[in-house]
Structure 1
Amino acid sequence: MVQLTQRLSMQLKQSPQQVLLSSLLQLPVLSLEQRIRMELETNPLLEMEMEEELEQEQEMELKAESNENDENDSQDKQDEIDWEEILHDQDSYEIHIPREKNPDVFERPEVFQETLTDHLLSQLNMTQMTPHEILIGEYIIWNINGVGYLSMDADTIAENLEEDVENVEKVLAVIQRFEPTGIAARNLQECLLIQLLEEENPNELAITFVRDHFDDFKNKRFEKLAKNLDISLETVKEVIEHITKLNPKPGEGFIAYENNYVVPDLEVKSEDGEFKVYMHDWNIPHLRINNEYRKMMLDRKKTNKETRDYIKQRLESARWLINSIHQRRATIFRVMETIIEKQNEFFVGGPQYQKPMILKDIADEIGMDISTVSRVTNGKYVQTEWGVFELKFFFSEKIRTDEGEDVSNKKIKNLIKDIIEKEPPKKPLNDQKIAEMLKSEGYNVARRTVAKYREQMMIPVSRLRRRI
């Protein structure tokens, strides 16, 4: 038996324009440029306009518009959209975003910088190894990470190459003597031991520390080392000083294949007592609608319906992209200007004057959703007089002092760091003691909070900070 029922429900769906804007908002400037160039390749209605053509093109379009005659019949006008009006809407389809030009920008020739892999391969090819051993060596070198450690053990390499472990170990031992010394080690102990053994005058006591008493050395059990080796604490101190001069990350210092630099999306400058925001978007292409497709849309006699439908679809996509780029720029400007307004003391005096602020503060101020502010601030950087910062940097939790003042947790972290830097080296302060010192200064911070902030700053526990 068939039954008819009614159900009332609410669903939240984003329009294609909203989805596009959301995706563009979270892109940094370099990724946005790539996205636009990809759209230029896939959408025939979009084309890039050069800076020097902008003024001439606009003048020509104004003259052309005044001479065009509308040959559309009245029935078509009722059934379809007035494409002529849309295509000639400069505000919607050819938004030429103003750009701040920097006269100091210039191109410099690329300087060749050798990578760690290239450096090791060149040494490998200079050895007296057989071609087969060189193939094993190349496999080993390509599995060395950025800090110089081998990312897999010899057994795995032997299994992957269907080779004997002994042959792999033999080649690995040769590579570990390459420059920089200690490269391709499997752990810190092996890395330090290789460097000690390769010294011109090997320190036998230091070798014994690393080879036979590494656990005590790592955990700074100085008294136990002195007792087991029957030496004085002064000797232990001298040996440790010798070991700490070694390089625990021999692979650092070489250029990596990845781009390890940040291109700021924004710049804040102080001009005439006010802070002004500039967008670093000089490389973002100007977009416009291709003129040939304009003519095809206007010439209904020679353009069939299937072609017009395709152009309509591509035109909508082009319009959404251009409008979304314009909205993206305006939204980022509003967010950055609001951050400056709320963190004015930071931009005037530096990071030590940063105030606590959350995403909701900005969202409420500009009348946008928190998720929108999160997309704007994620992965984007601003250049200031105090350095380059990610926009997320300006947001932090607040901690209330005894006087009722709200301070940023970044200030608490700096205080913890200062306390640790000034602590006695032979008797470092534990987290409880640091919490008590902060409380004496008016900051009610629990021991667990101190431990959390210390770990976030990658500062070890008191036992591992101890020095002789």
Structure 2
Amino acid sequence: MQLRQEFRLRQEQILQPQQILRSELIQLPILALELRVRGELEENPFLEESDEELQVLEKQEEETDNPEEAEPEAKENEIEWEDILNDDEPFEYRPQRPPEELVEIPRPNVLTLAEHLEEQLHLQILNDQEMEIGINIIGNINADGYLEYPLENLARDLDAPLEKVEEIHTLVQTFDPSGIGSRNLRECLLIQMKQQQHLNAIAVRILEECFDDFINKRYEVISKKLEISLDDVRSAFEDIRRLNPKPGEGYFDEKQNYIIPDLIVQKVGNEFVVYLNDGNIPNFQINSVYRNMILQRKDTDKKIRDFVTKKLESARWFINAIHQRRTTILRTMRAIVDKQWEFFEKGKNYLKPMILNDIAEEISMDISTISRVTNGKYVQTDWGVFELKYFFSERMETSNGEEVSTKIIKSKLRDIIDNENKSNPLSDQAIAELLEKEGYPIARRTVQKYREQLNIPVRRMRREI
């Protein structure tokens, strides 16, 4: 075995804690940022909520103190707290409020789907075991209204007879909304159809005997199998279309479906002004009591000094990162407004092609920073609330050489399909030819890609009789 020494030179990129913190905060939307700030206020004693009136009183008290009071000489190894606390970096954060506060429209207290079903369950005459089974069945119904958990597993978990579980499940399926607790789409539609006042026997036969043909809209095959006319098939299909394939829709927690914009763009005079919505983030600052204690340079134990140093640096980094987040988001949004001026002035049809790199070059920032800023954040405009990602799209050149956003082409494609003859829908090639006539020369495969992005089915699935 031979011992030897070696010297190796290599280059590594290491992110400083401050950079990691800035990257984390800059990608947080407003609600997540509120939680983060509240968490920091609880964990770090150097951070405290501030009140503007109290700040004025504290400042007046400090002015009345004798500023020329002699200070003890600093020890050789003592931290220069004045240099840290009196530098140019801010050690206070005051949230920005738009000139007109966002007014939340009062919302009624809507019952959740589970609460609505449990209310009906408690109206039934059931023993304790049956009630427990019913509550567990309801607890396994998803947001669309379907039962996700097999009845066999439920019976095993509750140590109950499978026949009893099936009996309670059938009872739950009679509850409002119709079709609730179904295990698949076929069962859901059949329950709704059979509960209607005027039963369409042909529609029931189609769902029971020709469900695959029904899903794939094979009208002629259904007509032949059931020996009925196409008019009867059409009438049955119209009745089935009135049913709800997702009976659980309409029962949701509004708070989970509610968007609070991170930014607000308002037109003031001839200019668009960008405001950052800080929501319910409080004013906060470095705790004045601790700050004054440190500035007085009282002798402290080394462990205490280390603890104080760590928490103080963490507080300063956090406040500085919040300020940088505000600056970066506002710069990004202002650049978007400048690039998409016609959109904010005239509406959606004037959206221009733009990519992340366009904004990154405009404000001299890395494209990854722009991606973090625009991810999951929303802006309120005169034309609605949009995710920042909405303003970015690829460009395509029209037949006359003009560059347009692909979102414009997708909108044209949707209009063409909405207005097509439903008895003979257009193929992707026919749609491409129509778009070319309007000045958008795109290939059939591109039409297919855009159609799939818009969740529009293929020609066969759009056909009606």
User: Normalised by the size of structure 1, how large is the TM-score?
Assistant: 0.94
Contact 1:146–1:256 (CA under 8 A) maintained in structure 2: no
Contact 1:100–1:282 (CA under 8 A) maintained in structure 2: no
Secondary structure of 1:383's aligned partner: strand
Q: CA-to-partner distance for each residue in 1:247-300, whole Å, 9 max, x for gaps? A: 111111123376210000100001111100011114212221212212331343
Residue aligning to 2:34 = 33
Paired AA for residue 135 in structure 2? E
Give 1:453's match in structure 2, choosing from 446, 450, 453. 450
Q: Distance in 2 between matches of 1:110 and 1:60?
A: 46
Q: CA-to-partner distance for each residue in 1:419-448, whole Å, 9 max, x for gaps? A: 101110100012122122222333232222
Residue aligning to 1:363 = 360
Q: Does residue 43 in structure 1 map to residue 44 in structure 2?
A: yes
How do 1:263-342 and structure 2 match up within 5 A? 263-342=260-339
Secondary structure of 2:110's aligned partner: coil
Q: Residues 243 and 257 (structure 1 numbering): CA distance in 2 closer, same or farther, change over 3 Å?
A: same
Q: Does residue 120 in structure 1 map to residue 117 in structure 2?
A: yes
Q: Does residue 111 in structure 1 map to residue 112 in structure 2?
A: no
Q: Distance in 1 between matches of 2:72 and 2:93?
A: 27
> How many matched pairs?
464
Q: Residues 30 and 183 (structure 1 numbering): CA distance in 2 closer, same or farther, change over 3 Å?
A: same
Residue aligning to 1:82 = 80
Q: Distance in 2 between matches of 1:354 and 1:57?
A: 51
Residue aligning to 2:410 = 413
Residue aligning to 2:92 = 94
Contact 1:83–1:297 (CA under 8 A) maintained in structure 2: yes
Contact 1:116–1:256 (CA under 8 A) maintained in structure 2: no
Secondary structure of 1:135's aligned partner: helix
Contact 2:114–2:139 (CA under 8 A) maintained in structure 1: yes
Q: Distance in 2 between matches of 1:109 and 1:197?
A: 38
- The share of aligned pairs that are identical, in percent, is 50
Q: Does residue 2 in structure 1 map to residue 6 in structure 2?
A: no
Q: Distance in 1 between matches of 2:31 and 2:427?
A: 45
Paired AA for residue 82 in structure 2? E
Q: Residues 64 and 321 (structure 1 numbering): CA distance in 2 closer, same or farther, change over 3 Å?
A: farther
Contact 1:296–1:302 (CA under 8 A) maintained in structure 2: no
Residue aligning to 2:212 = 215
Q: Distance in 2 between matches of 1:230 and 1:70?
A: 106
Q: Distance in 1 between matches of 2:278 and 2:61?
A: 26
Q: Residues 242 and 109 (structure 1 numbering): CA distance in 2 closer, same or farther, change over 3 Å?
A: closer
Q: Distance in 1 between matches of 2:269 and 2:99?
A: 19
Secondary structure of 1:12's aligned partner: coil
Q: Residues 365 and 103 (structure 1 numbering): CA distance in 2 closer, same or farther, change over 3 Å?
A: closer
Moved more, 114-123 or 129-138: 129-138
Residue aligning to 1:346 = 343
Contact 2:261–2:277 (CA under 8 A) maintained in structure 1: yes
Q: Residues 212 and 52 (structure 1 numbering): CA distance in 2 closer, same or farther, change over 3 Å?
A: farther
Paired AA for residue 412 in structure 2? L
Q: Distance in 2 between matches of 1:60 and 1:379?
A: 45
* Offset, 1:244: 1.1
Q: Residues 103 and 141 (structure 1 numbering): CA distance in 2 closer, same or farther, change over 3 Å?
A: closer
Q: CA-to-partner distance for each residue in 1:226-261, whole Å, 9 max, x for gaps? A: 222222222221111111111111111123376210
Secondary structure of 1:268's aligned partner: strand
Moved more, 201-210 or 396-405: 396-405
* Offset, 1:186: 1.0
Residue aligning to 1:164 = 161
Moved more, 66-75 or 171-180: 66-75
Give 2:144's match in structure 1, choosing from 143, 147, 166. 147
Q: Distance in 2 between matches of 1:195 and 1:68?
A: 85
Contact 1:149–1:187 (CA under 8 A) maintained in structure 2: yes
Residue aligning to 1:176 = 173
Q: Residues 347 and 81 (structure 1 numbering): CA distance in 2 closer, same or farther, change over 3 Å?
A: same
User: Normalised by the size of structure 2, how large is the TM-score?
Assistant: 0.94
* Offset, 1:324: 0.6
Contact 2:95–2:278 (CA under 8 A) maintained in structure 1: no
Secondary structure of 2:90's aligned partner: helix
Q: Distance in 2 between matches of 1:259 and 1:387?
A: 19
Q: Residues 343 and 64 (structure 1 numbering): CA distance in 2 closer, same or farther, change over 3 Å?
A: farther
Q: Residues 198 and 92 (structure 1 numbering): CA distance in 2 closer, same or farther, change over 3 Å?
A: same
Residue aligning to 1:71 = 71
Residue aligning to 1:398 = 395
Contact 1:296–1:303 (CA under 8 A) maintained in structure 2: no
* Offset, 1:7: 1.5
Contact 1:147–1:251 (CA under 8 A) maintained in structure 2: yes
* Offset, 1:109: 6.2
Q: CA-to-partner distance for each residue in 1:154-203, whole Å, 9 max, x for gaps? A: 22323333333322221111111101111011111111100111122322
Contact 2:398–2:404 (CA under 8 A) maintained in structure 1: yes
Secondary structure of 2:309's aligned partner: helix
Q: CA-to-partner distance for each residue in 1:101-159, whole Å, 9 max, x for gaps? A: 42564x77663211110010111111123221111111110111111111122223233
Residue aligning to 1:439 = 436
Paired AA for residue 413 in structure 1? K
Contact 1:267–1:384 (CA under 8 A) maintained in structure 2: yes
Q: Does residue 239 in structure 1 map to residue 236 in structure 2?
A: yes
Give unmatched runs, 5+ long, in structure 1: none
Moved more, 215-224 or 442-451: 442-451
Q: Residues 28 and 51 (structure 1 numbering): CA distance in 2 closer, same or farther, change over 3 Å?
A: farther
Give unmatched runs, 5+ long, in structure 2: none
Q: CA-to-partner distance for each residue in 1:23-79, whole Å, 9 max, x for gaps? A: 000101111111011001100011000244344444545x26862645242543xx3
Residue aligning to 2:376 = 379
Give 1:227's match in structure 2, choosing from 224, 227, 236. 224
Contact 1:297–1:303 (CA under 8 A) maintained in structure 2: no
Contact 1:351–1:386 (CA under 8 A) maintained in structure 2: yes
